[in-house]
Amino acid sequence: MSTLSAASARHLLRHPAQLVLALVGLALGVATITAVDVATASASRAFELSVAAVSGPATHEIAGGPQGIDERLYARLVAAYPSLELAPVVEGYVTVRDEALQLVGLDPLAEANFLEPPSMGERATAAAPGSALADPAVGLARWLTEPGAVVLTESTADRLALPLNGRFVLQIDGRPHEAVLIGRDSGSEAGRETLLATDIAQAQEWLGLVGRLSRIEIRAPPGAAAEGEIARLAAQLPPGVELEPAQQRSQTSLEMTRAFTTDLKAMSLLALLVGLFLIYGAVSFAVLQRRKTFAVLRALGATRLDVLRIVLAEAAALGVVGALLGLAAGVGVGRGLIALVSRTLNDLYFVVAVSTVTLPKSAALEAVGAGLLTALVGALLPAWEASHVAPQLGLKRSALEARAVRLSRSLLIGSVALAIAAGAIVAASSRSLLAAFAALFLLLLSVAACTPGLLAGSARLLARSLHRASPLGRIALGSVAASLSRTGVAVAALALAVAAMIGVSVMVESFRESLDDWLGRTMSADLYVSAPGPGFDRPERRLDPRVVAALLAVRGVASANAGRAVTVSSPRGPVSLDAVTLAPRGYDAVQLTEREAQAWAAFERGAVLVAEPLAWRWRLHPGDRLTLVTASGPRSFEVAGIYRDYGGDGVLIDRGVYRRSWGDDAVSSLGLYLDPGVASGKIIPALYAAAAGRQALLIGSNAGVRALSMSIFDRTFAITRVLDWLAAGVAAIGLVGSLLAWQLERSRELGILRSLGLTPRGAAVLIEAQTAFMGLVALVAALPAGLAAAKLLVTVVNRRAFGWQIDFHLHGMQLVDALRLALLAALLAGLYPAWRTGRAPIAADIREE
């Protein structure tokens, strides 16, 4: 190892607290990214496996809208295209003993089945020797004739404690159906754990799809001839029915989870951003502590580039170690997160059971790369500063301090320039997230740049005004100003940490309150009723019309919003369509961003309203047109308005229009408004009673649903807060280090004061007063920039990342937090020097540094 790297390594190891904090901070940032990647990738992988298990060899599929496809189409196509293998599928989600499963209805007599019907027929027996049914022939008969006959994988059946020939109840929509397990499939093919196979007719009956198919799968043999056939088939399909490549469906489903995964991703990026400041703090203190060493190196003939390289190499080493630690931790945390993520995916999108943890190689590389890059970017400024350390070792301290004062003045100008540059970047770019982050970074740097000048100026000013009143105070302030080369950098780093903390916490709080406001407004109904089951916009989740009628007839229910949530396709990708009939009060619940009156008029005439995130992503504005595939083919809808939505990125349409265009009259959920004075707690039992015997319901009160949403939010951002405090910790520890060096230099001055009769306690108070003053200056410098950073995060970064508009919310409490942080860090930093000074012999030897 070269002496230079040895010196670096030893320095870092001699300051373990600082090192550990920096590593922990960075590792946490990387771990968050990795954990999110692991959880989402594992869930996606599991989902893809389950898709492959059902329709692995299929090359294409024919799909309809929420209402599926007429099954007669299948018969027609089989006759017309003998060269293609076709398989009909009916599919939906069911719940068995609280576990979500995917019901797949298969036709064992169909000429092709891509999911081997468990041990049906000759081919299946050959393919799956661990046959689920003792005798295939008997099995086939039972499959076709026994009501409720289903087959599950052995492992799932065991988990659910379902014996062979056992009878059990499965729930669809909260409606119970009797089933019997006629086979336990012992084949261990991945992706089959969540599959519940049954006969196609049985599935149609259960899912309310009599006469309809969810899709038709096709296997085309390779070759141009088959391609021609496929093209011919596509052209002959009735309107509203489309032919797609087979991978499309899983892609589409995964695409739908985008809003959810982006949230997770955003949180992890935020964690990394805080990690950036941790590294910045740690490296700049590591530089500060070694100014002298860098000066020696420069005097010995190390070039600026050499010094720059040393510091960046240290940062890179920190980055790699931190990233690897983070990667390891992230995989661990990710395992834990999988349960949570798949739970959410089950609730909102599709059924998955994750059995293997996947960390895509690209994600691992990305995490390590992000850690490394973060470390390097964080170290850039300190490295530059190290490379510009003055090598004038023979000069007196006072000459160096004079230089520092001059530098601090030009930095003030630099600070203004940085702030202006930040503003210019934001103004010049309109959608680039990278530009927004760059502006944020410059803005925070500008705080760091203005701090030394501010410190020197205010110390001098205050010292002058204290002239008569307190000579001791004057000395204290005077030496803060006189040692700017040390105090300036320490305070700058503290200011930066405080500014970052203000920015992030104001942003999180603004987001939180905007969400709360939004929930308060959007959730105007008193009670929410839906059919239980996995998948937010699965077509089989409908409320029984008789149940709907019964609920609306309950005494105390004044009016209701009715909604039907489905996924429809559009040329630009899948769209979550929410078809609504709104009660008069329901209109207020939709928070339009502009032109409310016209928008509603247009909406009633058949136009759609688009959620803000989708509008941002697809660049939709009121007056634009959006094409959706209806039951009678693609149709262009006018975009009447944009509405706020922090939850998803859907499209609202009038239920009457939806019914006419898609031929679906079902209702997925209701929002009930109660008569004035009726307590929701009182009426819930009556609602359950009204549905009893027909359908189990999910009924949530307004307050309950809102509280749940907020608790999810708070959990999501908990890690950001932890990191925030870590950043403060690094700043405090660095501050201790640099103050210590400074106090050592001042031991002569303090020695004189002590010999003149200053008690140890007095000396301690003096030092604490100095550090408290520095903490306050850091705060003053950090306040405006922290608020500007918050504004930037709230209005620019969030908008560009998600398309959300968040209102800026500022509370005195957050500023008090920042004050507390700055003072706490500063006072803690003073504690050790104060203690030391109190104990040091009065005639301390005076040696420079």
Partner 1 sequence: MLALSGVSRSFREGGRAHRVLDGLDLAVATAEAVAITGRSGSGKSTLLNLLSGIERPDSGRIELDGRDIGALGEPARTQFRRAHVGFVYQFFNLVPTLDVEENVRLPLELNGVRGAEARRRSAAMLQRVGLGDRLGSAVDALSGGEQQRVAIARALVHEPSFVLADEPTGNLDEATATETIALLSTLVRSRGATLVMVTHDLALAATADRILELRDGRLRPRS
Residues forming contacts to partner 1 in the complex (CB under 8 A) are 2-4, 6-7, 10-11, 14, 292-293, 295-306, 391-396, 399, 402, 406, 847-849
393's contact among Mg ion, ligand ADP, partner 1, none, with CB below 5 to 8 A by partner kind, is partner 1
Query: Least distance (Å) from ligand ADP to the CB of residue 846?
Result: 17
Query: Least distance (Å) from partner 1 to the CB of residue 401?
Result: 12
State the DSSP string of 447-479. HHHHHHHHHHHHHHHHHHHTTTT-HHHHHHHHH
Two structure tokens written together for 107? 């036709």
Query: Least distance (Å) from ligand ADP to the CB of residue 745?
Result: 17
User: Which C-beta is closer to ligand ADP: that of 324 or that of 402?
Assistant: 402
Residue bearing tokens 């989902």 = 47
User: Which C-beta is closer to partner 1: that of 263 or that of 306?
Assistant: 306
Residues near Mg ion (CB under 5 A) are: 394
User: Which C-beta is closer to partner 1: that of 373 or that of 402?
Assistant: 402
Q: Where are the alpha helices (DSSP H) in 523-642?
A: 545-553, 586-589, 596-604, 612-617
11's contact among ligand ADP, partner 1, Mg ion, none, with CB below 5 to 8 A by partner kind, is partner 1
Two structure tokens written together for 158? 């065991």
Among 512, 510, 505, smallest CA distance to 818 is for 505
| CA distance linking residue 583 with residue 268, whole number of Å | 39
User: Which C-beta is closer to ligand ADP: that of 399 or that of 708?
Assistant: 399
Length of the chain: 849
Inter-residue contact 408 to 453 (CB < 8 Å): yes
User: Which C-beta is closer to ligand ADP: that of 301 or that of 394?
Assistant: 394
| CA distance linking residue 626 with residue 110, whole number of Å | 38
Beta bridge partners of 62: 216, 243
Give the 3-state secondary structure of residue 237: coil
Residue bearing tokens 């170690």 = 321
Q: For the segment 391-410, give every residue that binds ligand ADP (CB under 6 A).
A: 392, 395-396, 398-399, 402-403
Two structure tokens written together for 409? 């003045």
User: Which C-beta is closer to ligand ADP: that of 335 or that of 403?
Assistant: 403
Where in 76-122 does DSSP place strands (E)? 85-96, 99-106
User: Which C-beta is closer to ligand ADP: that of 485 or that of 771?
Assistant: 485
718's contact among Mg ion, partner 1, ligand ADP, none, with CB below 5 to 8 A by partner kind, is none
| CA distance linking residue 598 with residue 175, whole number of Å | 41
Task: Name the DSSP class of 238.
Answer: P
User: Which C-beta is closer to partner 1: that of 486 or that of 541?
Assistant: 486
Query: Least distance (Å) from ligand ADP to the CB of residue 399?
Result: 4
Query: Least distance (Å) from Mg ion to the CB of residue 395?
Result: 6
Query: Least distance (Å) from Mg ion to the CB of residue 394?
Result: 5
167's contact among ligand ADP, Mg ion, partner 1, none, with CB below 5 to 8 A by partner kind, is none
Kindly give, in sequence order, each residue whose CB lies less than 8 Å from that of residue 156, ignoring residues fewer than 6 positions away: 101, 193, 194
Residues contacting ligand ADP: total by CB under 6 A: 7
Query: CB burial class (10 A; 0-12, 13-18, 19+) of residue 398?
Result: exposed
7's contact among partner 1, Mg ion, ligand ADP, none, with CB below 5 to 8 A by partner kind, is partner 1
* CB neighbours of residue 422 within 10 Å: 24
340's contact among Mg ion, ligand ADP, partner 1, none, with CB below 5 to 8 A by partner kind, is none
| CA distance linking residue 641 with residue 739, whole number of Å | 58
Query: Least distance (Å) from ligand ADP to the CB of residue 485?
Result: 12
**816 forms part of the interface with ligand ADP (CB under 6 A):** no
For the window 365-394, what string marks contact with ligand ADP as x by the rule CB under 6 A?
Answer: ---------------------------x--
**413 forms part of the interface with ligand ADP (CB under 6 A):** no
Query: Least distance (Å) from Mg ion to the CB of residue 396?
Result: 7
Angle between helices 3-14 and 291-300 (to 10 degrees): 170
| CA distance linking residue 331 with residue 613, whole number of Å | 30
User: Which C-beta is closer to partner 1: that of 254 or that of 311?
Assistant: 311
Beta bridge partners of 667: 543
User: Which C-beta is closer to ligand ADP: that of 397 or that of 625?
Assistant: 397
Q: Which residues bind to ligand ADP, rule: CB under 6 A? A: 392, 395-396, 398-399, 402-403
